[in-house]
Structure 1
Amino acid sequence: MPESRRPESRIDSGRPVDGAGVGGVAASGDRTRLPGAYWVWLGGTALSLVGVQAMAFAMAWAAAGQGARFAALVPTAIVLPRVLLLVVGGAVADRFGAWPVLLVSDAAMIVVTVALAVAVWSPLDPRLPLLLAALAIGTVDAFQLPSSGSMPRRLVPPEALARALSARQLAGQFALFAGPPLGGLMLGLAGLAGAALSNTATALVMLAVLLAVRPAVGSSPAAGRVSLPPVSAALDGLRVAWSVPVLRAALLVTAVAAGFLLPVGTLLVPLLARQRDWSPSATGAVVAAMALGTAAVAVVVLLRGASRRPGVLAAVGLLVAAGGVAGLGAGHAQLPAVLAGVVVGVGSGCFATHVGPLVLAATPLTHLARVQAVLVLVQSLPLLVTTNALGLVVEVAHVAVVLHGCAGVLAATGLAALVVPALHRSRTEAAPQLPVARTSD
């Protein structure tokens, strides 16, 4: 689409860019300019994510100090309500619009972080505030994540989708790079309460951004209103995800990868640091190295565009990540661990920057938030199981043994993904076969 004819983009104006299909995903080398509204939203999102990651690291460190079982219980408390409410959150966003859902979610997160700061300053047992805050964060995530995940498709022209998603990935990895060291610094200066309040500050900025870029009065809240009954509308995202072959294959691989890759940074690295007597700042450096590796991949995709066969590159990414995870468990020094973290990040980034655009571009416009809810769901359900299982195993085995086990599963999944026919298709061959709703001007 020529730039002069590109539709105007607003934060959830209610109209995804007309005709945004898989075939419109940016080819390698595409230089289509991203709309200004997208950069404003992405800038606020990136800053907010820094605060989220700082508090997440602080919560993980505080939980690890209470033992491996409790360290696994805290992320479980986040994942459980997220799993239970995700399909509802996706249906709400498709019905009422992503912008109002993001606005309410951000306001709710401000309340949660302030309450956590007040609670940890009190003489209460810190375990109860940690668990309650984790439950509240998971509930907010169930509504915020589908809306946030659908925003690139809603805001940018089809030929710029791959670059938009790469920019979003880069913003997220910047947050992962900057957040853990900030969380470690805040732990040393003001404890968990300080990390929570830093998240409050960034959430306030994001709230101001959302208010500043609010959609025009009278704009339609969603791309085709959901006309099904509430329960059927919520479950319809599952039907769509299973009906499109590319979505089905990509989501299955993502589920296995999430169960054995996501716990590495959130659970296993803090526990490994406790066993090896690393400081909070050294531990944060390892987690930040993972984000640095992922960010490097996102920069390459942002500048050069995504591969025309993203499924193959995603499988290769899992194999690279497996090597890095094995490296984390192989040595005891901090420098090799940081280098292994970079390798994990490169593999994870290669997987995420290719699977994410493939899933989003293959989704019918009428189901954007609901399929994004399914994407988060297939990551959260395995994470719910493996986080607790790995936490129990660490109580009877060294963390290095668990890391090598995760590496084996990731390698096997990557090899299996290489032979799945649906993941060998190019982006244009992966177009959804379901009807796509188009909006009229």
Structure 2
Amino acid sequence: MTTATITRAPLPGPYLLWLAGTQAGLLGDAALYFALGWAASAHGGGAAGLVLTAITVPRTVLVLLGGAVADRFGARRVMLVGDAVMLAATATLAVAVGVRGAPLRLLVAAAAVIGTVDAFYLPASGSMPRRLVPVDRLPRALALRQAGGQSAVLLGAPMGGLLVTVGGLAGAAVADAVSFGVVLLVLLRVRTRQDAPGPAAPSGLLSEAASGVRLALRDPLLRAALLLTGAAAGALLPVVSLLGPLLARTHGWAAGTAGLVTAGQAAGMLTVAGSVGWRGALPRTGVGAATGLCTASVGITLLALSPVPVVAVAGSTVIGVGSGLFACHLGPLVLGGAPTSHLSRVQALLTLVQSVALVLFNGLLGLFADVAGAALPTLLCACASGVAGLAALATPALRRA
């Protein structure tokens, strides 16, 4: 099993070019997601939930197949097809909105296309750093990607709001179409070391998808890393997005204050991602990931017990630091530990584990908050995060990685 080490060697030019194109795509996607949600909210809360579900369901159901397709036919080829499909889809959406407005069925159809393409695109995209970067530079490469993703989250919603104000949903769709065009041009120039399709498998794509699951179950490091990812997704991700706003409403804080809490988490993650991108990761990536969960546990506790907004923002910043440590160390651990024949399938499993855990725990924590208030489920998330971190430190495969 390969492990990442700290290195100051420069990142390859093709990776930096691909990362720049990906960043343009992420900004366009974030703007369109905001615009879709805004347009759906005009039809009511149930309609908005239906649009989000139309993205999530095909992405979750098809992601393992998407990983097998990317490993079989080449990640770059799958991404080229995905970008071309989304370029056509977003351009068609812009025209349709201009002609017919934004009826609910059009929004649901657009969301279903996005979710279906994501199921194939995300595993392929997730494997690209390993295909473009030597394994000893993976921590820095993935940290830069993490920073870019957080920047897109911070800038995407305001940009989407501006686009909706100026040009409506059609304007946001046009902007996203342009971003897909940029990514498509970048991909045409980037070549990976593994562009050739994989060997034919007589058992078919479904069997290849299942082989990725069997690999993860057999491999002690991948199995432990995926379990830890599920625990982190369930304990960390709902805190700022779901429980933070509920805590703010409980204290009677304004929406702007709740936004500062979310910004604190993003700032913490960006700080860690920038540091790892510049200086490299800890020598033991498993210990770094476990430390991140334990750090996040402290921040979640601060957020749950915060009597004033400044403490809540400080807590969310600590959560961001812990989340950044976890993501910047676990990502290289999983990607560096996967065999080259199964890179996209392992990324598909990572996406599936996160999606399932998030859907499950968002629902349970929301119901629990309705019954017991927001503070208690937030404290439970703090306990779960800390226990997961300590369990990771006690797991030999993770501790020694």
TM-score bin, normalised by smaller chain: 0.7 to 0.9
- The structure with the greater share of residues assigned to helix is 2
| Aligned counterpart, 2:25 | 48
Report the Cα offset of residue 153 of structure 1.
1.1
**More moved, 246-255 vs 293-302:** 293-302
Partner amino acid, structure 2, of 1:40: L
Q: Distance in 2 between matches of 1:102 and 1:189?
A: 31
Q: Superposed, which structure 2 residues align to 1:11-30 within 5 Å? A: 22-23=2-3, 25=4, 27-28=5-6, 30=7
Structure 1 segment 126-137 matched on structure 2, within 5 A:
126=104, 128-137=105-114
Alignment-derived partner of residue 269 in structure 2:
294
After superposition, the C-alpha distances for 1:297-347 in whole angstroms (9 at most, x for unaligned) are: 112212222222222221221122233334444458665544433222211
Aligned identity (percent) is 48
Distance 1:244 1:371 in 2: 11
Amino acid at match of 1:344: I
Change beyond 3 A, Cα 1:376–1:223: same
Q: CA deviation at 1:393?
A: 4.6
Equivalent in the alignment of 2:207: 232
Contact 1:87 1:234 in 2 (8 A): yes
8 A contact 2:294–2:385 mirrored in 1 = yes
Structure 1 residue ranges without an equivalent (≥5) = 1-20, 427-441
1:237/1:404 Cα in 2 relative to 1: closer, same or farther (>3 Å)?
same
Distance 1:342 1:181, change over 3 A: farther
Cα RMSD between the aligned structures? 3.3
* Aligned residue among 403, 412, 421 for 2:378: 403
Higher mean displacement: 311-320 or 389-398: 389-398
Report which stretch shifted further, 391-400 or 299-308.
391-400
AA paired with 2:331? G
Residue 247 of structure 1: CA displacement? 0.5
Give the CA deviation at 1:143: 0.4
Which deviates more from structure 2 when the two are superposed, residues 43-52 or residues 53-62?
Answer: 53-62
Residue 296 of structure 2 is aligned to residue 321 of structure 1: yes
Q: Aligned with 2:212: secondary structure?
A: helix
Which residue, 109, 116, 132 being the options, matches 2:86?
A: 109
Instruction: Answer yes or no: is the 8 Å Cα contact 2:271–2:321 preserved in 1.
Output: yes
Kept in 1: contact 2:209–2:345 (CA 8 A): yes
* Whole-angstrom distance in 2 between the partners of 1:297 and 1:253: 20
Cα 1:345/1:193, change in 2 over 3 Å: farther
Deviation at 1:72, TM superposition (A): 5.6
* Aligned residue in 1 for 2:158: 181
Equivalent residue pairs, number? 399
Q: How does 1:236-275 map to 2 (within 5 A)?
A: 236-269=211-244
Task: Report what 1:158 is aligned to.
Answer: 135
My pick for the range that moved more, 33-42 or 113-122, is 113-122
- 1:370 — aligned with what? 345
> What's the TM-score once normalised by structure 1's chain length?
0.78
* Pairing 1:303-314 to 2, within 5 Å after superposition: 303-314=278-289
The offset of 1:360, in angstroms, is 0.8
Query: For 1:194 and 1:115, how far apart are their aligned partners in 2?
Result: 12
Q: Superposed, which structure 2 residues align to 1:77-226 within 5 Å?
A: 77-114=54-91, 122=100, 126=104, 128-187=105-164, 189-190=166-167, 192-213=169-190, 221-222=196-197, 224=199, 226=201
Partner of 1:420: 395
